[in-house]
Structure 1
Amino acid sequence: MPIAPDAKDWTWVLERTCAECGFDPDTITYESIPGRVRASAAALAAALDRPNAAVRPDDSTWSPLEYAAHVRDVCRIFEHRLDITRTGSARPGPPIGGYDTSVVVDDSGIPVFADWDQDVTALAENYGAQHPAQVAAELRAAGETTSRAFESVAAGERERPAKRSNGSLFTVESLARYFTHDVVHHAHDVEKRSAATT
């Protein structure tokens, strides 16, 4: 059954510590971001080796498989958003169900990428029916590719701006932190629920 949609605006994690996963934006250096993403992606991928990886703990919570498929797509989407932010223009995006790759440039010359409804994508891509081993491999690859993309950004580029269509303003640096929290948070979600069932 579908999970209740998450309509929260998570940009607050750029200003204060996340009480759920412990992510503290003030202690995260840009240089540490790729390593954190790689470690969290690896932990999520490893969770798919478990025999119950495709089983939801309850009707309102994703299975480890669904979380991992979501984070794989998060990595792909944020690589695309980083490309948009660095170039200030529309760029080819990943073919993900429910993801709008369109970009407009506002009157200030700032690129604006479309908001993303993760719940629409989860249904369109049928996360729960995907193969755990394939998702694990794709997640590792996407985590590595996106980590390298953020690593390639020179210090002088990190203040380049972009907007989300709901009005949220990002720079390369804040986009990186926002993205990293998403990956770290979901790795924590899966580990916490795994610990509760063992």
Structure 2
Amino acid sequence: MTITPDTKNWTWVLERPCPECGFAAGAGSRDEVPALLRANAESWREYFAKNDPEQVRTRPDPEKWSPLEYACHVRDCNKIYSLRVGLMLEEDDPQYPNWDQDSTAVEDKYNEQDPDTVIAELIDTTEQIATRFASVSADQWKRTGHRGDGSDFTVESLARYFVHDPIHHLWDVTGKRHDS
């Protein structure tokens, strides 16, 4: 079963609430990002604790990732965005290396990974990026960086953009909107 790659530019989430998951990335304070990330990771842990490994490997339909695949993606996004934030804080105006999330899912065989290991890594990588965002000083929030597709970010806009991703993917798995 092959997933159609997501080619949408999701930067619009900085301007308006997501109609699917309900999260308003541009509405909250940047200081809320670490707590939002940690709460989201805990929700992933709770979801996996309540469901058996076969259930988390099951795709609801051929065009949608399984909960395990989404959890792997969230874990890997944590790593990628931690790297991007690091580049923005350590270099002037960096260009991020491209990342093909769909190729990574196939190459790393997301749905064959051990669910307990994935959740432990998701929790660990979430704590790393949450700590990184929590340590950003007032003047560092304005530092800039650029994605390969031409999207420009400050550390603040990247934090707000990024936090939508794990929240949205938890909605993909549970169907529970952030605003409910």
- TM-score normalised by L of structure 2: 0.92
Unaligned runs of 5+ in 2: none
Give identity over the alignment, percent: 44
Q: Which residue of 1 aligns with 2:150?
A: 167
Q: In structure 2, which of residues 77, 81, 84 is the aligned counterpart of residue 81 of structure 1?
A: 84
Unaligned runs of 5+ in 1: 89-108, 194-198
In structure 1, how many angstroms separate the alpha carbons of the residues matched to 2:159 and 2:90?
16
Query: Which residue identity lines up with residue 19 of structure 2 in the other structure?
Result: A
Which structure's relative contact order is higher, taking Cα pairs within 8 Å and 6+ residues apart? 2
* Superimposed CA distance per residue, residues 136-177 of structure 1 (whole angstroms, 9 cap, x where no aligned partner): 100000111110001000111100000011111000000001
Query: Which residue identity lines up with residue 145 of structure 1 in the other structure?
Result: Q
Q: CA RMSD in A?
A: 1.2
Q: Which residue of 1 aligns with 2:63?
A: 60
In structure 2, how many angstroms separate the alpha carbons of the residues matched to 1:14 and 1:117?
22
Q: Secondary structure at the match of 2:56?
A: coil
Q: Which residue of 2 aligns with 1:36?
A: 36
Compute the displacement of 1:53 (Å).
1.0
2:170 is the counterpart of 1:187: yes
* Superimposed CA distance per residue, residues 60-115 of structure 1 (whole angstroms, 9 cap, x where no aligned partner): 11111111010000001110000000011xxxxxxxxxxxxxxxxxxxx5210123
- TM-score normalised by L of structure 1: 0.84
Any conservation in 2 of the 1:46–1:136 contact (CA below 8 Å)? no
Aligned pairs, number: 173
Q: Which structure has more helix as a fraction of its residues?
A: 2
Query: Which residue identity lines up with residue 21 of structure 1 in the other structure?
Result: C
Any conservation in 1 of the 2:26–2:160 contact (CA below 8 Å)? no
